Amino acid sequence: MSEMKLKTGLAEMLKGGVIMDVVNREQALIAERSGAVAVMALERVPADIRKEGGVARMANAEIIQEIMDAVSIPVMAKARIGHFVEAQILEALGVDYIDESEVLTPADDRYHIDKFQYSVPFVCGARNLGEALRRIGEGAAMIRTKGEAGSGNIVEAVRHLREIKAQMRRLTTLGPEELMNESKELGAPLPLVKLVAQSGKLPVPNFAAGGVASPADAALCMQLGAEAVFVGSGIFKSENPEKLAHAVVEATANFQDPQILARCSRGLGVAMRGLDITKLRPEERLQERGW
Amino acid sequence: MNARLQIGILALQGAVEPHARLLGRIGASPVYVRKPEQLSGLAGIILPGGESTAMIHLLKLNRLWEPLREFVQTRPVLGVCAGAILLARKVTHPEQESLGAIDIEIARNAYGRQVDSFTAELKPGVAWEGTPIEGVFIRAPRIQKVGAGVDVLFEHKGEPVLVAQGRCLAGTFHPELTDSIAVHHYFITQCEAATPWTTASPNTSASLSVN
């Protein structure tokens, strides 16, 4: 179990911080300078994956290495759902966290990676409690909401944060005889269902992701109970990435202080344009990926 | 133990809650510190683990850097991992600024990356009266030089991992991620010793001016 302590321990260290998607060394340096607690190395940000289409895979090893060499903060990278060899490669490269991510094209339409097989920790996306507990049951050491990546629209992240919170609250009100059925309904392991029923929270840190495009979006996720925030396309698809990166970091740390939020919401230029989720076709909804 | 002892935890970023839980267990009141005025009346402060680069950035944005530097010159402080990096006299790998509250030289991420994180049983140093404790090291720094006035409280493979200079404590591992209260208990004892007004009202003239 000391291994799990090390895995969730790193997530503990990232709490209250911002993890930024970057596609090269320059962006990674901007993220670090702006106070990011970690960067996520990937080939294309979700907004571009959405626009350009094609199969989205793990980033090139050279790019990941270049980013790891450039910054002193932790470097995460994404592997495709179920692609356990991409995960082996990322572990061999020495990345600090692997995101088994719905943003990339799934490699397996039934199974996720057995994350207990790795010494590097994993983060996985979830829309609801059942999905979160299945991923934890497979060894994930951190959960993030899926939101709708690359949309610049916070509504799905809010829905997922609220859903998970409401389902956890409900579990705490149930009697012990009700938990087995609940486990069946949620599609989640009974021991984890019991744990949540007792504690009212996930056994691993719970971060927000998917659609964060402004300091206010980041603070909204934090006020809704997220413990840290991932920002994907929002920063480097905006008019002034460095300024916005600074502002999102400041807003996340001071999420309960409207005076500071007002100050850091000024002079940011044009935010990423964003998408209306209701206009997306079902196959364009990245959050549907994952089983 | 005095239940009214107010202990600050720097809460801009990082593993804040685990310290609050431990402080609660040993009867002290944790106070989350995000602004300069919140330093006033504290018996001591904990600088938690997290990312030191992000913390420095946020300390400056929130105008806490100078007030905190003054605070840790005179009041008890426990710095853990990133917190120890903030307290060190000199930081390497890479070089970065620090508060200079304890005479140590510390190298960041010096055991390697996350895959090199580890747990180990720590051996008491000459200055510690007690039993071994568990050390959780996460992308941990290493203390590479200690000044003459610095005592070693715990060591791992012959290297110092928890050191003290007067009322300033710096550790490279995470006692807050284990069940052991030993380090926090020691720190609280320092805070009590350094706080003559603990049995009186906490907000007396002894509080710092931090404008």
CB–CB contact B81 A13 (8 Å) = yes
Q: What is the pLDDT of residue B211?
A: 37
CB–CB contact B34 A250 (8 Å) = no
- Average pLDDT of A11-23? 97
% of chain A residues with pLDDT over 70: 99
Is the pLDDT score of B166 beyond 90? Answer: yes
Neighbours of B31 (CB within 10 A): 18
Strand partners, B171: B80, B162
Determine the distance from the C-alpha atom of residue B118 to the mean position of all C-alpha atoms in its chain, rounded to a whole number. Answer: 20
Q: What are the start-end ranges of the E strands in A127-282? A: 142-145, 206-207, 229-231
Domain contains B154 = yes
Exactly one of B19, B155, B176, B184 is catalytic; name it.
B176
A72–chain B Cβ distance below 8 A for any pair: yes
CB–CB contact A15 B13 (8 Å) = yes
Q: What is the pLDDT of residue B204?
A: 40
**Domain of B21: which CATH number?**
3.40.50.880
CB–CB contact B50 A17 (8 Å) = yes
Half-sphere exposure of B131 (CA within 13 A, CB side): 4
Instruction: Report the number of distinct structural domains present in chain B.
Output: 1
Interface predicted TM-score of the whole assembly (ipTM), two decimals = 0.94
Summarised one tens digit per residue, pLDDT across range B57-109 is 999 999 999 999 999 999 999 999 999 999 999 999 999 999 999 999 999 99
Is the pLDDT score of A252 beyond 60? Answer: yes
Domain contains B117 = yes
Domain contains B65 = yes
- Average pLDDT of A197-216? 96
Exactly one of B19, B156, B174, B184 is catalytic; name it.
B174
In contact, A218 and A252? CB cutoff 8 Å: yes
Which one of B33, B57, B133, B174 makes the best mutation probe of the A interface by having the most chain A beta carbons within 10 Å?
B57
Is the pLDDT score of A174 beyond 60? Answer: yes
In degrees and rounded to multiples of 5, residue A12 shows phi and psi of -55, -40
Determine the distance from the C-alpha atom of residue A72 to the mean position of all C-alpha atoms in its chain, rounded to a whole number. Answer: 21
Residues of A in contact with B58 (CB under 8 A): 35, 249-250, 253
Q: What is the pLDDT of residue B200?
A: 41
% of chain B residues with pLDDT over 90: 90
CB–CB contact B177 A249 (8 Å) = no
Which tokens go with A286?
């990245």
- Average pLDDT of A228-246? 93
Pairing mode, strands B118-124 and B133-137: antiparallel
**Which residues fall within 8 angstroms of residue B17, CB to CB, at 6 or more apart?**
A15
Residues of A in contact with B138 (CB under 8 A): 6, 9-10, 13
* Among A2-6, A66-70, A74-78, the least confident range: A2-6
* Among A36-50, A151-165, B11-25, B188-202, the least confident range: B188-202
Domain contains B1 = no
CB–CB contact A254 B34 (8 Å) = yes
Q: What is the pLDDT of residue B105?
A: 98
Q: How confident is the model at residue A155 (pLDDT cuts 50, 70, 90)?
A: very high
Chain A residue with CA closest to B140: the answer is A10
Domain that holds residue B163: 6-207
Strand partners, A207: A144
Q: Report the alpha-carbon distance of residue A213 to residue A218 in Å, rounded.
A: 8
Q: What share of chain A is helix, strand, coil (3-state, %, to 5)?
A: 50, 10, 40
Residues of A in contact with B57 (CB under 8 A): 34-35, 249
Half-sphere exposure of A12 (CA within 13 A, CB side): 24
B43–chain A Cβ distance below 8 A for any pair: no
Q: Report the alpha-carbon distance of residue B140 to residue B117 in Å, rounded.
A: 7
Determine the distance from the C-alpha atom of residue A24 to the mean position of all C-alpha atoms in its chain, rounded to a whole number. Answer: 19
* Among A55-64, A204-213, A275-284, B186-195, the least confident range: A275-284
Q: How confident is the model at residue B199 (pLDDT cuts 50, 70, 90)?
A: very low
Q: What is the pLDDT of residue A2?
A: 61
Q: Report the alpha-carbon distance of residue A252 to residue B180 in Å, rounded.
A: 31
Domain contains B11 = yes
Three-class SS of residue B90?
strand
Domain contains B196 = yes
Q: What is the pLDDT of residue A53?
A: 87
DSSP string, A197-240: HHHSS-SS-EEB-SS--SHHHHHHHHHTT-SSEEE-HHHHTSS-
A73–chain B Cβ distance below 8 A for any pair: yes
- Average pLDDT of A190-201? 98
In contact, A30 and A246? CB cutoff 8 Å: no
The DSSP call for residue A103 is T
Three-class SS of residue A22?
strand
Q: What is the pLDDT of residue A46?
A: 87
Is the pLDDT score of B4 beyond 80? Answer: no
The pLDDT mean for chain A works out to: 95
Q: How confident is the model at residue B209 (pLDDT cuts 50, 70, 90)?
A: very low
The pLDDT mean for chain B works out to: 92
